[in-house]
Structure 1
Amino acid sequence: TLYGRNADLLYYFKYVEGNENLFTIYSMILIVPSILGAAAFPFVFEKLGNKGHTASLFAAGTGVSLIALYFFSAVSSPIPFYTFAALSQFFFCGFNTAIYAIVPDCVEYGEWKTGVRNDGFQYAFVSLGNKLGMAIGTSALAGVLSALSFAPNQVQNAAVQNAMHYAFSLLPGVLWLITAFVLFFYRISKRSYNQIMSELNAKKTG
């Protein structure tokens, strides 16, 4: 599925920007923001006190950055293009770290609520969701491009180029904003988590 996403990005640079070598530059520029985004999570969480709200903030940042990215080109306006690309990766990696930090909360909550602990299932479910999302997204894009008469290794028609452009930035940007909205309603805060843990520990020691 990661290969499929990379293929989608490569197609964007090859057929929309007109230079597939820009994909290498794009990938290299995202390395540092990836590290910084993951490292920023604990500081943001410390301020907000809620991992869901933290993930929501990072998701919103990803969405806004991707929507802004739609209006720029790596060829004609490289500075804003790569700036928003870097920001989107920064926020995405912060979000990704937040999501995996949320899983233990869900495990403890599930045990507190039902008496059953299911660590393996929770992590497997997140991984499965990622893989399914990538697979469905890539397949859907492939179907749309085929319907619009995509033909490899040649100049594409305007409809195909527009579809690739939307899929690269605008559409995922909107989906990220929806994700941010949903995560805003996450209820487990530092205080409620500590209460859950104290009750679980009391049951185990009692």
Structure 2
Amino acid sequence: IAYLGALLTAAGTKEEDNIVRQNTEKVGLLEVFKVVGKNDQLMWQAISYIMFALAYVVTNSLLLYYFKYVMGADSKFYLVGIFTAIEGMVAVAIFPTLTKFLARRTIFFSGAVVMLAGYVLFMVAGNNLPVVLTAVTMFFMPYPIMFLVVLMTITDSVEYGQWKLGTRHESVTLAIRPLLDKLAGAFANGVVGFAAVVAGMTGSAKPSDITAQGLQLFKVFMFYGPMILIVISVLIYWRKVTLTETRHAEIVAELEERLQEK
């Protein structure tokens, strides 16, 4: 399926060529760090996103432990896959409509509020499967939408960097997001492993073997820590990422005018 998707993308999309995209030059390894470091909007978005991604991946990775050791219902975990698959498709489908009525900043902030509400519901859900699945829905549904907001902002920072530095560095800028995902995934794996050990959720342990202290430590890693990271991520995005849709349009217009004069 992934291979067919890649073929459809390659065959169905065409690269746009205009005067703005032609303003490029090759950069060496050291210059790559300079390009990234001088693009303040890219850097602030990167800092905000890695916190958001780390929070999401940690909680998502600990879900199976929750079903197995907290609820004692690991046989029902397949329902999470079904729910999240459907929610992901719906979220991506409605994103274009959302952007027609709401600014990206509003979408990102609103999505974070829904995710945090999902965390709160999770913490009081206990072993109630319908409530847990509702919490999963509230936690997961905004994620693809917020991811697209981040992706579009990073993409817009290509023109911002070009406007600020005088040269376009598209490949360097767009490589940042997958790098951040890899870093978040690596850190999350370490956190999940550590959380499982300190909570006693390893080996042949059963739900009845988990102590109250172990359960509390598990909640710190699955709920409290990620919630703090999401709040910090939103605050950084709201205060530091000023590259709105309107500002991007102004930058593109200025770039076109500047390059046509050369």
What is the RMSD of the two structures over their aligned residues, measured on CA atoms? 2.6
Deviation of 1:56 (Å): 2.7
Give the aligned partner of residue 182 of structure 1.
236
Code of the residue aligned with 1:54 in structure 2: it is I
Pick from 80, 91, 97 the counterpart of residue 37 of structure 1. Answer: 91
Seq. identity, %? 18
Give the aligned partner of residue 94 of structure 1.
145
Pick from 164, 167, 190 the counterpart of residue 113 of structure 1. Answer: 164
Counterparts of 1:41-60 in structure 2 under 5 Å?
41-49=95-103, 51-60=104-113
Deviation of 1:147 (Å): 4.2
Give the aligned partner of residue 134 of structure 2.
83
Code of the residue aligned with 2:148 in structure 1: it is T
Deviation of 1:143 (Å): 2.4
Q: Residue 137 in 1 paired to residue 185 in 2?
A: no
Deviation of 1:72 (Å): 0.5
Distance 2:180 2:143 in 1: 16
Give the aligned partner of residue 17 of structure 1.
71
- Number of residues paired by the alignment? 203
TM-score, length basis structure 1: 0.84
Q: Residue 126 in 1 paired to residue 153 in 2?
A: no
Deviation of 1:4 (Å): 8.6
Distance 1:53 1:6 in 2: 24
Distance 2:67 2:116 in 1: 20
The unaligned stretches of length 5 or more in structure 2 are 1-53
CA contact (8 A) 2:109 2:234 kept: yes
CA contact (8 A) 1:37 1:94 kept: yes
Q: Residue 204 in 1 paired to residue 248 in 2?
A: no
Rg larger in 1 or in 2?
A: 2
Question: Structure 1 pair 92/182, CA: closer, same or farther in 2 (3 Å)?
Answer: same
CA contact (8 A) 1:64 1:173 kept: no
Deviation of 1:41 (Å): 2.6
The unaligned stretches of length 5 or more in structure 1 are none
Question: Structure 1 pair 56/121, CA: closer, same or farther in 2 (3 Å)?
Answer: farther
Deviating beyond 4 angstroms after TM superposition, the runs of 4 or more aligned structure 1 residues are 3-7, 147-150
Question: Structure 1 pair 140/110, CA: closer, same or farther in 2 (3 Å)?
Answer: same
